[in-house]
Structure 1
Amino acid sequence: MFTIAVDFDGTIAYHDWGKTPQFVPGALETLTLWNQQPNIQLVLNTMRSGKYLEEAIWFLETHGIKFVGYNQNPTQQKWTSSPKVYANLYIDDASLGCPVTKPDIFTPGGRPYVDWAKVDQLVSEMVLFVEPIHQD
């Protein structure tokens, strides 16, 4: 099983705190494809908590995106008590090397966000059973 931990703000949705979340381009399509892969499981790995985490979960579930855990990987409890989310790969707009876009003046929140076309290609190269959905 290949576990991918995915951040929410700036990764799945625009940085537009306090407003209804909106998917960044490519996030919904890529996460939907990954949900269909039997050897991939997703963990939401976000700073959100309380009602803000509940809002993110509701948003994702409303769009059919499934995660095995929210700010935790339930499978790691068998072998560690560490609070750090275990994954094979972490996708986060704030992580070094994660491909991000340069926003224009019309981008909600006005901050860079993950470039899902590039992320999908990188993950496809890492995981042989994942077909890229973004073709150049």
Structure 2
Amino acid sequence: MKIAVDFDGTIVEHRYPQIGKELPFAIDTLKMLQQDGHWLILWSVREGKLLDEAVEWCKARGLEFYAINSDYPEDDMPVGKRARKLNVELFIDDLNLGGLPDWGVIYQMIKEKKTFAEIYKQEPVKKKKKWF
């Protein structure tokens, strides 16, 4: 699966234009997704030097993306001329409706092909029989 991943507020705390602290388990989870065969695309509003800093920050932690702000790595169109819509199956972004789930939940959703609701679906509580 092709997965677009936001940077600020998703991989790191939102401190734009600086780089915030890594969100717990973000890098490890993304590397696990790559090991599972998924293609990750960094999808960020960052451009130029700020984008380069984010890419290098990830590389320093052993995370390299299939492509950056593009559907494929060979895209040589200038950033302003590229289509801003990606052809991916999933976006991981802190601005999703309802916010960003825990990275463990994100991994479980992708690995088990379940929705957030399916993971948090609670079994009905069985009522105890009364003995009177």
Scaled by the length of structure 2, what TM-score is found? 0.72
SS of corresponding position for 2:41: strand
Structure 1: 5+ residue stretches without partners? 101-114, 128-136
1:119 to partner: Cα distance: 1.0
Instruction: Tell me, in whole angstroms, the C-alpha distance in 1 between the residues paired with 2:18 and 2:57.
Output: 12
Per-residue CA deviation, residues 24-55 of structure 1 (Å, 9 max, x unaligned), is 01101101111222x31000011111111001
Instruction: Tell me, in whole angstroms, the C-alpha distance in 1 between the residues paired with 2:21 and 2:54.
Output: 10
Match of 2:3 in 1: 4
- Which of the numbers 116, 120, 125 marks the counterpart of 2:107? 120
Per-residue CA deviation, residues 83-102 of structure 1 (Å, 9 max, x unaligned), is 312211000000124534xx
Are the counterparts in 1 of residues 66 and 73 from structure 2 also a CA contact under 8 Å? Answer: no
SS of corresponding position for 2:39: strand
Are the counterparts in 2 of residues 43 and 70 from structure 1 also a CA contact under 8 Å? Answer: yes
Q: 1:89 to 1:76 in 2, by over 3 A?
A: farther
Structure 2: 5+ residue stretches without partners? 76-81, 115-132
The number of residue pairs the alignment matches comes to: 108
Instruction: Tell me, in whole angstroms, the C-alpha distance in 2 between the residues paired with 1:54 and 1:75.
Output: 15
- Which of the numbers 45, 48, 64 marks the counterpart of 1:47? 45
Instruction: Tell me, in whole angstroms, the C-alpha distance in 2 between the residues paired with 1:23 and 1:63.
Output: 10
Match of 1:34 in 2: 33
Per-residue CA deviation, residues 41-91 of structure 1 (Å, 9 max, x unaligned), is 0000111111110010000011110111111011797xxx84312211000
RMSD of equivalent CA atoms: 2.3
Moved more, 68-77 or 85-94: 68-77
SS of corresponding position for 1:74: coil
Are the counterparts in 2 of residues 72 and 85 from structure 1 also a CA contact under 8 Å? Answer: yes
Instruction: Tell me, in whole angstroms, the C-alpha distance in 2 between the residues paired with 1:97 and 1:76.
Output: 34
1:7 to partner: Cα distance: 0.2
SS of corresponding position for 1:5: strand
Q: 1:17 to 1:36 in 2, by over 3 A?
A: same
Scaled by the length of structure 1, what TM-score is found? 0.70
